[in-house]
Amino acid sequence: MTVDFEAQLRAVSLRVTRPRLAVLAALRDHPHVDTHTVIALVRDELPTVSHQAIYDVLQALTDVGLVRRIQPAGATARYESRVGDNHHHVVCRSCGAIADVDCAVGHAPCLTASDDHGFVVDEAEVVYWGTCPRCATAPTS
Ligand SMILES: [Zn+2]
Ligand SMILES: [Zn+2]
């Protein structure tokens, strides 16, 4: 799948800048990374960009919905560029590894609450917790 980041930015009326493109590319190649990892990845490409500039880019992209911020309980915030499909995550209790889980029953069906109590629901947050394969097979001492 090829993604035209410049078109994505223009579609939300954000100016196309190299840091913005670099953050989107970093998140495409490395989903579910934390802020520090995003900074390291972007500065690999663009060594002169400041930490603050990258924080600002993450904030701006999250605000317009091009980037999704996820924060499992007790974990640091992670970012991903797979947005709009209301997918879920499975998180390893042991090492914090995160993987995507498609909605089990079609497109964003979790938005249909069994009883919405009259609320207008726009997001369903489901986190599956468990042990990742690497941790499950690691020898216990
Ligand atoms: Zn693990
Ligand atoms: Zn994800």
Q: How far is the CA of 108 from the centre of ligand 1 (A)?
A: 27
Domain identity same for 65 and 88: no
| Domain region containing 95 | 84-141
Domain identity same for 39 and 90: no
pTM higher than the cut 0.85: no
Write the CATH number for 115: 3.30.1490.190
Helix (H, G, I), strand (E, B) or coil at 56: helix
Q: Is 110 known as a binding-site position?
A: no
Q: Is 135 known as a binding-site position?
A: yes
Q: Is 95 known as a binding-site position?
A: yes
Q: Is 132 known as a binding-site position?
A: yes
Contacts of 58 (CB under 8 A, 6+ apart): 23, 35, 38, 67, 69, 79
Q: Cα–Cα–Cα angle for 41, 47, 48, nearest 5°?
A: 130
Q: Count the Cβ atoms, other than its own, within 10 Å of residue 102.
A: 11
Choose the final residue of a domain: 19, 35, 70. 70
Q: Please check whether residue 76 lies inside any domain of the structure.
A: no
Choose the final residue of a domain: 18, 44, 70. 70
Which ligand number lies closest to the CA of residue 130? 1
Domain identity same for 39 and 88: no
Domain identity same for 66 and 89: no
Domain identity same for 29 and 58: yes
Write the CATH number for 54: 1.10.10.10
Residue 20 burial class via C-beta count within 10 angstroms: exposed 0-12, middle 13-18, buried 19 and up: buried
Which ligand number lies closest to the CA of residue 87? 2
Q: Where are the beta strands (DSSP E) in 22-139?
A: 33-34, 68-70, 78-80, 88-92, 98-101, 127-130
**Ion ligand 2 neighbours, Cβ < 5 Å:** 80, 100
Choose the final residue of a domain: 70, 102, 127. 70
pLDDT tens digits in sequence order for the chain, 141 residues long:
456 999 999 999 999 999 999 999 999 999 999 999 999 999 999 999 999 999 999 999 999 999 999 988 888 899 999 988 878 899 999 999 999 998 766 555 566 777 778 888 777 778 899 999 999 998 766
Quote the pLDDT of residue 17: 96
Number of domains in the chain: 2
How far from the centroid of its chain's Cα atoms is residue 79's Cα? 3
